Amino acid sequence: MKKNILLLIALFAAALNLRPAINSIAPLLDDIQGDLGMSAALASLLTSIPVLCMGLFSPFAVKASGKWGIERIIGYSLLIIGIGTVIRFFTHSTLVLLLSSLITGIGIASIGPLISGFIKKYFPEHVPSIVAVYSIALTIGAAGSSMLSGPLHGYYHSWQKAIGLWAFIAFIAAIIWFFSVTPVASQSIRSSESTKIKLPWRNRKAWTLTFSFGSMAMLMYSFTAWLPLIIQEMGYSKAYATLCLTVFVVIQIPISLVLPILLKTFPSRRVWMITESLIVLVSLILLLSNASPIIATFLFGLGGSGLFTLNLMLPIDATSNANDATSWSAMQQSVGYVIGALGPIMLGWIHDVSHSFTPAIMVMIFISILMIVTQIASTSKKQTFLNL
């Protein structure tokens, strides 16, 4: 019991650090653009680079975990996130800021796909509950960075400090990880060394899960990156736009808690994924029609949170051991996050060309429809591992 508690605390602390480097940027994006003279397309890279890293570096993280162990790689990655974030204290150029996004992105990329293997390895009988804890921690990190970056900027009169202070929770999480996980898992680490883990590139089921994750990531990161500016373009204040972003993130916490309970009663992944996708679609239509943005963002957070949690579960459902769960998750996130990274860039480019976010929202509606089609394909009756 004590072992499991230590591992759970370490997992929670690690997950807290997977979004602040990304979400702390959005509330201050217009200040950063004005100070550094960045175009919308260039500014979108601050969100897209970490997401792109999550795609490109996931396979390398899997290979490294096969040689040195999941536990060690996650611990080292927390240190990398801390180093990349602390660089932002000293940022006065676009190049250095983009470099910090690259470094933090590498750290985040190295943790993401390994979490599934970690859960499968240490909590095989409690997957929905542990995924919920992971999702809640991740959401708290996202919500905290979205909510506090603005006040921190106001207090310090420096966006550099407002986005750089998040390095401290990464270093604290690394300390917790090395003191909690390494002693408990030392024997497991030794036995896992030199294990070759291959990604399931030729597996059709793995590809359907990957495209489902990719379309979800494209929508989520586009929404996170541009929501404040979309709302400000509608004529609302910056404070109201920040409030909407906070609502979008905070609503994800109770959804992460409730969804595992609902899944025990009605476990069909297909029904829940399509339901959540329809909620996202409705929220985008409301945003396009210039209805109350706070209701639209509430609904998007409601649907997006459920989709994220469900997509995380699918590789664990589909596999029988920690190594396979890691490899399936790595493929899902490798390609999926590359697809997701294109979202903010594409929306930024559309805005630069059209000088309006209306066409961008229409593109997001089209993507959400494609996502529903993908989810139906990825949860066909033949794929019994989805508990249909």
Distance CA 314, CA 109 (A): 19
Provide CATH code, domain 2-386: 1.20.1250.20
Tokens of 211: 């495209």
Compute the mean pLDDT over every residue in the chain, rounded to the nearest whole number. 85
- Going from N- to C-terminal start, the domains of the chain cover 2-386
pLDDT per residue over 178-192, tens digit each?
A: 988 876 655 554 444
User: What's the pLDDT tens digit per position in 159-177?
Assistant: 999 999 999 999 999 999 9
Alpha-carbon span 68 to 114, nearest angstrom = 12
**pTM of the prediction?**
0.77
252-291 pLDDT per residue, tens:
888 877 887 788 788 787 889 999 999 999 999 999 998 8
* Res. 385: pLDDT tops 50: no
